[in-house]
Amino acid sequence: MSTLFGTFSTWYFSHLPSRPATEFKFYGTPFMSIAAIYYWMFGDGSQRTMNIASLNLKMSLDDFDPIKKAVENPAYGPGTYPFDAEFSTNLFNHATKDLWAAGVIGRVGGRVTGTLKVGATGDYVFNGSFTLNPDRYKAYDSNRTITQEALTKFLGLLGTFGHKDYDILFTGGQNIQFSGKKPVAYQQPTNPGDAVHRPSFGGRQRPPR
């Protein structure tokens, strides 16, 4: 195992724009998971950085619960709504789209900011960006999917050879844009100021209310 990671690290450090051990940074590549494990087993445990933009995460509306709730809420009628809220999501829900990133950070939390615009017919557009909170790289029990638990147990077995947990600090941010139509379109009455009249039949007066 040590030979495998040693061979990989020699290639990794000589081909990517990062420096060894004390100044090591993670970038979004297919080798990111191996690099993260290597540093966990052979690094000094100091904080590492990861550039969010390099991950190119395939985020969707489902990843940002505060925005999704607003889109699904009929009370958010035509208008412009600013957002600055916390969110949490599991990158493993993206299936293979963000597999490399999910293998390292899994569930992430952060802050999303931007503007939600809703049209008169229920069409919406959200423009904004998000940042991620620092994450702790370690093998620990938690409430995860079966796949994540299996990977965590595998990581724990590797850690029996020696390891040092470390924090990952995410730098920068990523722009996002979502658009679509609200599931329940907001509809205003055609003449909201007019009274509603009941019809009268046979010339008789309408009964009192």
pLDDT per residue as tens digits for the range 35-72: 888 887 888 888 989 999 989 999 999 999 999 999 99
* pLDDT at res. 39: 83
* pLDDT at res. 142: 53
Of 19, 26, 118, whose CA–CA distance to 70 is shortest? 118
Is the entire prediction scored with pTM above 0.85? no
Q: Which amino acid is at 197?
A: H
Of 82, 83, 71, 176, whose CA–CA distance to 119 is shortest? 71
pLDDT in tens, 156-197: 555 455 678 889 999 999 999 999 999 865 544 434 344 344
Q: Beta strands of the chain (E only): which ranges? A: 25-26, 48-51, 79-90, 107-118, 123-132, 135-137, 166-171, 174-181
Q: What is the DSSP letter of 136?
A: E
Interaxial angle between packed helices 32-42 and 2-15, expressed in degrees from 0 to 180 and rounded to the nearest 10: 120
Q: Two tokens at 94?
A: 């993206």
* pLDDT at res. 161: 54
* pLDDT at res. 157: 54
* pLDDT at res. 173: 96
Q: Two tokens at 112?
A: 């999303």
DSSP SS3 for 98:
coil
Q: Which amino acid is at 13?
A: F
DSSP SS3 for 106:
coil
Choice between 24 and 13, residue whose per-residue pLDDT is larger: 24
Choice between 147 and 98, residue whose per-residue pLDDT is larger: 98
CATH fit for domain 2-181, picks 3.40.190.10, 2.30.31.20, 3.40.228.10, 3.30.450.400: 3.30.450.400
Instruction: pLDDT band for 152, please (50, 70, 90 cuts).
Output: low
Report the C-alpha gap between 152 and 48 in whole angstroms.
20
